[in-house]
């Protein structure tokens, strides 16, 4: 087993004692860093950046060279999974992801393959292995995937969408067809995350970006059920350690108790819920990750420090808190403001007394 010089993240996700609150930032490798923009320009395109393990490794490590973060997260995209299933992912400048082929019928869905991630997504696994070597035990590496529901919305709509007319049309008019797609995606995502774990990811996260657009009943049946299946199928011990799994549903604060019942180790929170209230609701069943509004980082360092301290204080004493933003960092944030946030969280976390394992 490789010795980790900094295992705060893994310990906090498992509600074990830590010396201070760990922090990482969603999309911490991204457009707000000038060094990322330079590497992206060298790559020529976003997908080429994702598909070149050396460059994906480079941008994964860039924020760690600037900030004393407590984790690296694999640089990739959730839509590499449907791309590997044959839909032909491409990006339109200023518009986002698009697919050459979309799913609109049962026949389209039944024709989808179940790709072998070591072959169809070999570039991701090569990047994971390379990042682990380069990290050399400095901090743990987080792997990730999109949730089946979130992936399905892109695959059925053909790209980013605000109305989800085709996906919700399937949900209400042909639910059995949508369930077939979600079942296939749950199997594929399970394979994909397990391949990441075998390649070296030490924690994994499932991003359910669009679960919050569903009714409570639809969320349970079409999103949470399939994340639960993935959790049940994941490798949970590897390299002599527990592999924590975090579920994050943006806009899903009303369903935290049901999410905790899946057997995951942690829940990600967006900024629309008070983390203290969330902790009281889930008790000691799971750790919590979050949940600063990303827009706070437009403010000056003094306000950033105050907002970070307020969240650490609201969580309360004991371990089980991983500080993060409530969603991805905005591309125009000043990197110095991120530096202020990281320092503020570590200071506030040490002051709060994270060494005791807390309850609700």
Q: Which residues are catalytic?
A: 27, 31, 40, 77, 154
The residue with tokens 């201070």 is 20
Distance of alpha carbon 151 from alpha carbon 155, whole angstroms: 6
DSSP one-letter string for 251-263: T-GGGHHHHHTTT
Q: Flag whether 236 is marked binding.
A: no
Does the annotation place 303 within a ligand binding site? Answer: no
The annotation status of 111 as a binding-site residue, yes or no, is no
Which of 127, 294, 120 lies closest to 196 in space, CA to CA? 127
Residue 273, SS3?
Answer: coil
What's the longest Cα–Cα distance across the chain? 58
The first and second tokens of residue 102, run together, are: 């979309």
2 belongs to an annotated ligand binding site:
no
Query: 107 burial class (0-12, 13-18, 19+ CB within 10 angstroms)?
Result: exposed
Q: Taking the CA atoms of the chain, what radius of gyration do you get in angstroms?
A: 19
Task: Please tell me whether 154 is known to bind a ligand.
Answer: yes
Local structure of residue 159 (DSSP, 8 states): B
If residue 198 lies in a helix (H) or strand (E), which one and from where to where? helix 175-199
**Cβ atoms of residues 156 and 85 within 8 Å:** no
Q: Is 90 annotated as a binding residue?
A: no
The total number of residues shown for the chain amounts to 360
Residue 316 known to bind ligand: no
Angle CA 205–291–208, to nearest 5: 35
137 is in an annotated binding site: no
Q: What does the buried/exposed string (b/e) look like for 216-225 if buried means 16 or more CB atoms within 10 Å of the residue's CB?
A: eebbebbbbb
Would the annotation count 27 as a binding residue? yes
In this structure, what token pair is assigned to residue 158? 């053909």
Q: Point out the annotated binding site.
A: 27-31, 77, 154, 209, 327
Q: Which residues are annotated as a binding site for substrate?
A: 27-31, 77, 154, 209, 327
């Amino acid at each position: 087993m490789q010795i980790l010089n900094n295992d705060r993240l893994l310990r906090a996700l498992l509600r074990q004692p830590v010396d201070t609150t760990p922090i990482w930032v969603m999309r911490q490798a991204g457009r707000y860093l000038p060094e990322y923009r330079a590497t992206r320009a060298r790559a020529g395109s976003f997908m080429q950046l994702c598909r070149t393990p050396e460059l994906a490794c480079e941008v994964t490590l860039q924020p760690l060279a600037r900030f004393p973060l407590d984790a690296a997260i694999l640089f990739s995209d959730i839509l590499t999974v449907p791309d590997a299933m044959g839909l032909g992912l491409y990006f339109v400048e200023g518009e986002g992801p698009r697919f050459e082929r979309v799913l609109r019928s049962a026949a389209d869905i039944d024709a989808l393959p179940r790709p072998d991630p070591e072959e169809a997504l070999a570039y991701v696994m090569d990047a994971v292995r390379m990042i682990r070597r380069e990290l050399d035990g400095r901090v743990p590496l987080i792997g990730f995937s999109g949730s089946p529901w979130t992936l399905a919305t892109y695959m059925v709509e053909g790209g980013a969408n605000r109305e989800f007319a085709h996906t919700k049309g399937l949900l209400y008019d042909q639910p059995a067809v949508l369930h077939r797609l979600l079942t296939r995606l749950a199997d594929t995502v399970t394979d994909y995350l397990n391949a990441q774990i075998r390649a070296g990811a030490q924690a994994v996260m499932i991003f359910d970006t669009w679960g919050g657009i569903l009714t409570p009943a639809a969320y349970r049946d079409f999103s949470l059920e399939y994340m639960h299946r993935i959790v049940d199928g994941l490798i949970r011990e590897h390299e002599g350690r527990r592999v924590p799994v975090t579920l994050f549903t943006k806009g899903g604060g009303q369903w935290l108790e049901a999410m905790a019942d899946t057997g995951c180790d942690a829940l990600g929170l967006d900024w629309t819920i008070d983390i203290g209230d969330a902790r009281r609701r889930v008790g000691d069943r799971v750790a919590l990750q979050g949940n600063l509004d990303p827009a706070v980082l437009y403010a000056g360092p003094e306000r950033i420090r105050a907002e970070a301290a307020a969240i650490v204080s609201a969580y309360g004493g004991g371990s089980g808190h991983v500080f993060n933003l409530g969603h991805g960092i905005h591309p125009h944030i000043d990197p110095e403001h991120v530096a202020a946030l990281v320092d503020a969280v570590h200071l506030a976390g040490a002051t709060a007394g994270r060494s005791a394992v807390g309850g609700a």
